[in-house]
Amino acid sequence: MGNISRRTFLASGVAGAGAIALGSLAGCSPSSTGSSATTSEVGGQRGGGAATSHTQNVVVHEADVIVVGSGIAGLTAARRAIDEGATVAIIDKGPYGHSGASGHNWGHSVATVEYADPASLPAFAAGLLFVGDGMVDQNYMLNLATAWHDVRPMLTSVQLGSVTEHNKEGVSCSVVNQANSVPENPTVQDAGLFPRVFARQVKRAGAQIYDYTYALDVLKDPDGATAGIAAINLKTGEPVVFRSRAVILATGSFVWLCGWNGMTPYSHSSADCTGDGAAMFIRAGLPMRDMEEICQDNGQWYPTGTRQCMTGMGVELPDHYRGFNNNYESFSDIITENPAAYMNQGTYMRLTLREIWQGRGTEHGGIWALTDDLENEERYYRPAKWNMKRIFDYDLPQYVELVPQAWETAGRPFNIDPQTCETEVSGLFYAGGAPTVWNGFVVASCMGSAWMAGKAAADLTRTDERGVIDWNQVSDIFNEAYSYFDNTGDDAIRSRKLMRNVQNAFWDGMYFLRDEEGIQGTIDELTRIQNEDLPHMGLGDHTPQFNMDWRNALETRNMVTVGIAAAQAALIRRETRGAHCRTDYPKVDNENYMVNTKVALKDGSWESELVPVDDPLVSREDLIAGIATVGID
């Protein structure tokens, strides 16, 4: 095989497996049929481009459905698609079975309505519109509630080997289970869920697993429909094309934009959550909804180094009564007194941030958490004292200082089919927790959306042939990905340093308490980084195999894109709502802002607008009258 330039990445897929030299086939169109893996060498030189030393093979894989991400959403989508008879390939940039924002290592709690009367689901969905401060897509919410019922998360988890949390009466814990909080609702229950058992079952069911594989971009055929995914095998450094008519992006949120900020280098979610899926949706030309909604949690501990993820404790909505300001006064009594109106994550967020903004927060900008009687909690904080002593030889004091941290984001493609989760790009599906991040149903939403997307994707592949790969598009995608190896001059900026700069720029203006000057400052700095620094981003390690510098570079590019999108949305929502708090507009303004934000990247320029909420279930007038107006004022 001859010396081949990465500049031109022309390839031809063939049926069957094998390696072919393409030096003499440059410009040939793909002719692949069937579903087996194909290995093709990248070759040919077009348009006078200079050859480089980056000689690579393109490996082509085919499947009916490609799932990007193997967290709760990705695994649920894959399981449903396999059950529907489709072949499935799962791509994950981390280790399969141990990645995902929901924490394969420690499990998660999931709210479920699987035991509810199906006839009650429309009323349940309508109630969540109020809990979600009116911004929730109403048709989607109704279908999502039905999917929560059908996916049976609690029963499925037990069948696959999870051990659920039970209360003293022997039944699964309700979402809120304290006597001084919301009374138990027998139709909504809470269970422990361990994603690792889902990963094991999906692999046994026959999914093709490609972990340590970084998805770069969605491929489109000449008609604009989905044709697959371009990716990098991080273990070998080789370019990979996954060809499929249906792609489900289940990549989690973008909260690592806030990572390494606050009090500790820590995010409640995962460092994998760098906005990869959102950036791919944006580059695919899709407008995004409510990107400004970045939910916070009270989970960073002082003193630093004494917190170990969920073996510790935080203060969230279910145990809000444990939160106190710096005067050791409870500030969430309104939730206890009127849970029907105020029992939602957004309200508790705003109550917390009100204390901090108005000067009643702790020394490090947080609140106090009361640890009395933790051993009687009916959630995963119960063993906190025992774990802290066992792991760190640390005696948990009566009050622990907690500082807000990023938890989850609520951005997703603006328009998705409410019954299938298909986007405006044919064959491209969304699966994830948005838009329910501030009403406590994140995991259920991940499973529900994935349940719908998995079936719809499988159905699509029964009637449509796999997409035709545009190899010029493939060439452009890989050329950009490999270009970071060429930045070796004195002006090269290490990817990890630039990622840190991006996180600082985002945190400076998009911290949980925001104002117009700070938000605009974030936009300006991220735009400058995009224009001036990204072209000079380079790598300290110049071997493509298992190069974390390279992965950081690819992630940094995505973080810049979604960071600007989120700030553009925050700029036009001039009020406080959901997980968005403006110190220059501290009130909830139902009359003027019962809207969704919409941002899109068109021809290199950002467009943003406010769109009135749709109201097929609950009228806009009823939402305006009924949504709680707890701001930070």
Specify the DSSP class assigned to residue 29.
Answer: P
Cα–Cα distance between 11 and 40 in angstroms, integer? 6
Residues 357 and 335 in one domain: yes
For strands 246-249 and 581-582, give the pairing: unpaired
Q: Domain range spanning residue 185?
A: 68-85+93-207+251-255+411-462
Residues 198 and 109 in one domain: yes
Cα–Cα distance between 126 and 194 in angstroms, integer? 29
Closest CA to 72 of 456, 558, 445, 455: 445
Residues 391 and 436 in one domain: no
The answer to whether residue 372 sits within a structural domain is: yes
Domain-terminating residue out of 409, 431, 449 = 409
Q: Tokens representing 307? A: 């917190």
Do 96 and 213 contact (CB within 8 A), yes or no? Answer: no
The answer to whether residue 544 sits within a structural domain is: no
The answer to whether residue 562 sits within a structural domain is: no
The answer to whether residue 369 sits within a structural domain is: yes
Residues 427 and 370 in one domain: no
Closest CA to 44 of 25, 19, 18, 58: 25
Query: Which SS3 state, helix, strand or coil, does residue 514 take?
Result: strand
pLDDT attached to residue 332: 96
Domain-terminating residue out of 383, 409, 435 = 409
Give me the residue label for tokens 């999870």.
Answer: 162
Q: How far is CA 452 from the centre of its chain?
A: 17
Cα–Cα distance between 227 and 495 in angstroms, integer? 30
pLDDT attached to residue 170: 54
Residues 362 and 380 in one domain: yes
Domain-terminating residue out of 462, 477, 501 = 462
* Number of domains within the chain: 3
Residues 202 and 330 in one domain: no
Do 552 and 540 contact (CB within 8 A), yes or no? Answer: no
Residues 76 and 192 in one domain: yes
pLDDT attached to residue 107: 63
pLDDT attached to residue 435: 85
pLDDT attached to residue 279: 98
Closest CA to 320 of 356, 304, 344: 344
The answer to whether residue 567 sits within a structural domain is: no
Task: Split the chain (633 residues) into runs of 10 and give each run's mean pLDDT.
Answer: 34 30 30 39 32 64 96 94 97 88 62 85 88 91 92 82 63 38 45 75 96 97 96 96 97 89 69 94 97 89 66 78 96 92 88 97 94 80 82 88 89 97 98 84 89 98 87 94 90 93 96 97 98 94 92 97 98 96 97 97 96 93 93 96
The answer to whether residue 421 sits within a structural domain is: yes
Residues 76 and 184 in one domain: yes
Residues 199 and 74 in one domain: yes
State the CB neighbour count (10 A cutoff) for residue 417: 17
Residues 333 and 402 in one domain: yes
Cα–Cα distance between 356 and 586 in angstroms, integer? 13
Segments in 274-342 forming alpha helices (H): 276-283, 333-337, 339-342
Cα–Cα distance between 106 and 86 in angstroms, integer? 30
Residues 104 and 191 in one domain: yes
pLDDT attached to residue 19: 30
pLDDT attached to residue 22: 27
pLDDT attached to residue 31: 33
Do 357 and 295 contact (CB within 8 A), yes or no? Answer: no
The answer to whether residue 104 sits within a structural domain is: yes
Residues 109 and 171 in one domain: yes
- Amino acid identity of residue 319, one-letter, is D
12-55 pLDDT, tens per residue?
Answer: 332 223 332 222 223 333 333 334 444 444 433 222 232 334 55
The answer to whether residue 268 sits within a structural domain is: no
pTM as predicted: 0.90
Write out the E strands in 383-425.
Answer: 399-409, 412-413
